[in-house]
Structure 1
């Protein structure tokens, strides 16, 4: 008997000739502040992947950093840092997945932070606007 916890992932083939963009990967932790995310802006990163807590939640102090990234047109992709975890917009409190989804954070369900980083990196090198990268997820 086979049990599926989520739908099979969609495959998308993209030709990559060069990688010119920069994407940061941050593991979210209890007590995290926004300063690490703000450093991605100062360092010229084009995208950020966050490995969120549980179903994709972050500490409330991180929300201002996420909003700053989005205000700078830097896409933020969210995955769960839990083994086989699935990030989704469930909780609506400050830093909860539902709030982040409403802000414009992109979910990458069923893949690791490393894979999400590569998808975002390739996606950013394929599109003209950071907003267009959401369809890669």
Structure 2
């Protein structure tokens, strides 16, 4: 079964990391990614851009576009993983591995009820951080 592992973190804390601190966390996370890939259970994963550049669409009809996310939380959703695990317990174990690599993050594990893969995107990484649109 597919599960989404949603990665929450205090965005200002992540943005304050030095390039070396960020690289260290990413190195640890890539070790977990490699293990999950070897098991054949890692699907799409993404590190999201800053919430200041996010938009929210809400309301009836065509809706209204508002700047930014409007969650009443301390942490922000900063990334996600899609994993194929035999059980919820196995998905929790995958999230525990990710948390070991990034212990200050919070991970939410949710079953995916519908998955509609599209055309694969090329691998992208923002050079030197997020760039303007």
Question: Considering the TM-score relative to the shorter chain, is it more than 0.5?
Answer: no
Structure number with bigger Rg = 2
TM-score, structure 2 as length reference = 0.28
The two structures have a TM-score, normalised by structure 1, of 0.28
Q: Which has the higher contact order (CA 8 A, sep 6+)?
A: 2
